[in-house]
Amino acid sequence: MGFHAPEMPILVDDETGVWNTDALPMLYVPRHFFVNNHMGIEDEIGAERYAEILYKAGYKSAYFWCEQESECHGIYGKDIWDHYLKRLSQRGWGFFITEELDIEKGTAKVRLENSAFVYHYEKIHGKKVNRKVDYMFTGWFAGALDQILESQGSSLRTKATQTQSGAEEGHDVGYFEVLPL
């Protein structure tokens, strides 16, 4: 196993210390810190309720991110989708691979390999937890696709679901599906 430097530009504001990548401010935190906070909230309010909250927040964030990045780089349609999944993959969440994308129909299928959540849950529990633990990502795909659709003048809107997780017995990867409402 080899290592390499981050593949995305990171600029740090001299006055504020804020990290920026492309057109947006970023945070850099240890994975265990983030996932332990995630697990703590899940323990208090339950995975289903937390998934609902994260879907809405993730949708909104993905929409905003794609809108800002599209404007910053002058990229649209499939190019902004690909850029989004590339940046997500470069940030250590896991590797997001587009298996299917049909913007006009409002559909997509995304494979997730090496999920940060699957890794951490398995490390804590010593085995697969046999449930979907990557639900934080689900709203991201509908938000990204809806931003692209709206930028192209389409009124079509979508909903994403996680259909499989690498944390489930018999599976090594996760899958997300986006379909029209």
Does 154 fall in a domain? yes
Does 18 fall in a domain? no
What CATH number does residue 124 fall under?
3.30.1380.20
Q: Determine the pLDDT at residue 112.
A: 99
Q: Collect the ranges in the chain with pLDDT lower than 70.
A: none
**Does the pTM exceed 0.85?**
yes
Does 148 fall in a domain? yes
Does 160 fall in a domain? yes
Does 13 fall in a domain? no
Q: Determine the pLDDT at residue 28.
A: 86
Does 19 fall in a domain? no
Does 79 fall in a domain? yes
The set of residues, in sequence order, having a beta carbon less than 8 Å from that of 145 and lying 6+ positions away, is: 81, 103, 106, 108, 158, 160, 178
Domain that holds residue 105: 31-180
Q: Determine the pLDDT at residue 126.
A: 94
